[in-house]
Chain A
Amino acid sequence: MIAFLERHGFRFDEERLAQAVKRSRRTMELRQEVEEYRKAVPVPMTTVDALSCIGNTLITLLGSDAGVEIMRRLRDEVSLRVRDKQGVIGDEKLRLYLVGVPPVYNLGLLDYPEKYGAVVVKSDLDYIGGCVMAPELLVPERPLESLALKQLADIVNPCYETRIDMAVETVKEYHIDGVIGLNKRGCRNLPAALRLVKDAIYRETGVPMTIFDLDGIDAREYNDAQVKANIDSFMETLIQHRVGG
């Protein structure tokens, strides 16, 4: 890729790349701290906030000073909320984990379970981008190797062991009560493995998972009433499960 870019007039500056990798690592370390705070009960920030603040920062500002600064401020803000036990909703009864692409055209849907005292505390979209949980993979002295490792650590890579392990660990560490799996019709990678994720989570933790069709990108087939009915049904099951348990 470097050779290709250089053929088109760009000059590769390894030192500059090393500095970018260093800033990326720092951003990832701060992000890791944020993730630790997100495990707190009550949860200090919503998944919508995480997708907006963390996702956008990782996608557009990774490797920049601005990226480091945003993540530092986010870490500070979240840490204060945890210290003050300030949750997203007043009475947090259920904690949810979202697997799949949430409806980007209607992120407000993620607040819908709040009427049951349920909060979506985590999305597996958080893991896309690689080495989220292992910033130590980024070593400024070996910038190209770092980028390769970052890509290999990404959960969308071929086999599913890592993704399943991450899903199970997430359920345990974030104290999850229920998992919502979204099947995006235009995607093969995740939908082809939702059953694997569901079975692994249930086997390892006993936490149930519901799966239904929802295209997070293409709004044309979105049916708000149907989607909410699916969530309602799952929430009722979770509540009964809790009462029964």
Chain B
Amino acid sequence: MEALQALRNVARNPQQVAREAKKGGKKVLGYRCAYVPEEILDAAGVVPYPMFGTPEAIALADSYFQPNICEFVRNIFDLALKGKMEFLDGLVLCNTCDAVRKLYDHWRTYIKTPFCYIINNPQKQFTELGYEYQYEELSHFRKAVEEFSGSAISDSVLQDAIGLHNKTRSLLRQVYAVRKQDPPLLSGEEALDVVMATMVLPKERANDLLKRLIPELEQRSQPPVAPGPRIMVTGSIIDHPTLIRMVEESGGMVVADDLCTTTRYFWYPVRENRDPLGALARHTTEKPVCACMHPMEARLEYMLELVREYNVAGIIYFNLMYCDPFLYEGVLFKKKLEAKGIPTIALETEHTPSGIGQLKTRVQAFLEML
């Protein structure tokens, strides 16, 4: 399992790749979230770094953000304040939740990197007006990245970047196919690592490893998890394997996941056409993967597609405290999913889950019920 191990090593130390790129003279921009088109950064020769948090306790950021603000955002800002994001030349965010929008304001005021940008993507999806607005937004973003990087982004280079990223998406789908088997040939914890590593790595390198990973997994003789109910994990961002590992140690097989660090990143390919910016604008206004977006029916349908494809028996929502979009959705979707015969539990967690024992009790009770 050489490729798997290589990917997992990257996931355990996600900053390393970006740091090396920085040492090699590249410009590196941190970004969040699934609606930031990495392809534009790649096309300009800028390294996109998907910012992850760490399990370490928040220290400095608590005097900037009130404690009722998303712990993930506070964690990211804390790392920046502590100088642990010093390899970043800037930040790119998009219009999702209040906490992310305020991260932009704080970063610009207190971190002061050479580049700081927020893409004001419309939250009402699947409308022509939204598409046109997003097209303009991405045009401005493209120009800003060109000025920052000093590299013009031609349509053909952007087209190539989209093709490369689509290849990554397609390979990740193939990797995920082994999770459809019973038992799955890739555990939930491993899947999280594979996608997180893919997000961090240059796409050529990621694609190479993913191509090698697929036969490795298909030839796997020993399933990585003990038999149990087929579980899908969803909710707020998870950037550390603790919670997923806890589900698998409790007897559940995590066969699918709908997370910012897993399927939301790759499930939908960019529909390539002659106008690459138009393709990206279409992609970001028709990708219904986040609870911040409307209409919710599109996102529910995407989740049901995952449930069907991976033959999911139950869904666990891990919602970060104060993450309003998913906390609201968790309550609403629990009813809707259960009405369709899919048992669902919504749990409130912290980014560094200190109360893991209590969560485990509830997860075990849920698994026993299935």
**Known: A188-B97, A192-B102, A199-B109. Contact between A183 and B68, CB under 8 A?**
yes
Nearest B-chain residue to A183, judged by Cβ: B66
Assess whether A159 is interfacial by the CB under 8 Å rule: yes
Contacts of A192 in B (CB 8 A): 65-66, 69, 98-99, 101-102
Q: Is the CB of B106 within 8 A of A158?
A: no
Assess whether A104 is interfacial by the CB under 8 Å rule: no
Contacts of B101 in A (CB 8 A): 158-159, 192
Assess whether B105 is interfacial by the CB under 8 Å rule: yes
Q: Is the CB of A158 within 8 A of B95?
A: yes
Q: Is the CB of A159 within 8 A of B99?
A: no
Contacts of A160 in B (CB 8 A): 102, 105
Contacts of B106 in A (CB 8 A): 193, 195-196
Q: Is the CB of B66 within 8 A of A191?
A: yes
| Residues from 154 to 199 in B contacting A, C-beta threshold 8 Å | none
> What mask results when residues 1 to 28 of chain B are scored 1 for a CB within 8 Å of chain A, else 0?
0000000000000000000000000000
Nearest B-chain residue to A193, judged by Cβ: B102
Q: Is the CB of A188 within 8 A of B69?
A: yes
Assess whether B63 is interfacial by the CB under 8 Å rule: yes
Assess whether B322 is interfacial by the CB under 8 Å rule: yes
Assess whether B277 is interfacial by the CB under 8 Å rule: no
Number of contact residues on A: which range applies?
10 to 19
**Known: A159-B101, A160-B102, A188-B324. Contact between A195 and B95, CB under 8 A?**
no
Assess whether A185 is interfacial by the CB under 8 Å rule: yes
Q: Is the CB of A158 within 8 A of B120?
A: yes
Contacts of A196 in B (CB 8 A): 102, 105-106, 109
| Residues from 103 to 120 in B contacting A, C-beta threshold 8 Å | 104-106, 109, 118, 120
> What mask results when residues 67 to 78 of chain A are scored 1 for a CB within 8 Å of chain B, else 0?
000000000000
Q: Is the CB of B98 within 8 A of A188?
A: yes
Assess whether A194 is interfacial by the CB under 8 Å rule: yes
Contacts of B322 in A (CB 8 A): 188
Q: Is the CB of B63 within 8 A of A159?
A: no
Assess whether A223 is interfacial by the CB under 8 Å rule: no
Q: Is the CB of A159 within 8 A of B66?
A: no
Nearest B-chain residue to A191, judged by Cβ: B66
Contacts of A194 in B (CB 8 A): 66
Nearest A-chain residue to B103, judged by Cβ: A192
Q: Is the CB of B104 within 8 A of A159?
A: yes
| Residues from 68 to 118 in B contacting A, C-beta threshold 8 Å | 68-70, 95, 97-99, 101-102, 104-106, 109, 118
Complex CA–CA separation, A68 to B138 (angstroms): 43
| Residues from 35 to 65 in B contacting A, C-beta threshold 8 Å | 63-65
**Known: A160-B102, A196-B106. Contact between A191 and B69, CB under 8 A?**
yes
Q: Is the CB of A195 within 8 A of B104?
A: no
A13 to chain B, nearest CB (A): 23
Nearest B-chain residue to A192, judged by Cβ: B102
Complex CA–CA separation, A213 to B99 (angstroms): 18
Nearest B-chain residue to A199, judged by Cβ: B109
Complex CA–CA separation, A160 to B105 (angstroms): 6
Q: Is the CB of B105 within 8 A of A185?
A: no
> What mask results when residues 152 to 185 of chain A are scored 1 for a CB within 8 Å of chain B, else 0?
0000001110000000000000000000000101
| Residues from 179 to 236 in A contacting B, C-beta threshold 8 Å | 183, 185-186, 188-189, 191-196, 199, 211, 213
B348 to chain A, nearest CB (A): 14
Complex CA–CA separation, A188 to B70 (angstroms): 9
Complex CA–CA separation, A199 to B108 (angstroms): 14
B240 to chain A, nearest CB (A): 23
Contacts of A189 in B (CB 8 A): 98, 102
Nearest B-chain residue to A185, judged by Cβ: B68
Complex CA–CA separation, A194 to B118 (angstroms): 20
7 pairs of A and B residues whose beta carbons are closest in the complex: A192-B102, A188-B98, A191-B66, A160-B105, A195-B64, A185-B68, A189-B98
Using A158-B101, A185-B68, A199-B109 as known contacts, list a sample of 9 further A-B pairs with CB atoms less than 8 Å apart, ordered by residue number in A: A158-B95, A159-B104, A183-B68, A188-B70, A188-B98, A189-B102, A191-B68, A192-B99, A195-B64
A-B contact pairs, 19 of them (CB 8 A): A158-B101, A159-B105, A159-B118, A160-B105, A183-B68, A186-B68, A188-B68, A188-B70, A188-B99, A188-B102, A189-B98, A192-B99, A192-B102, A195-B63, A195-B64, A196-B106, A199-B109, A211-B66, A213-B66
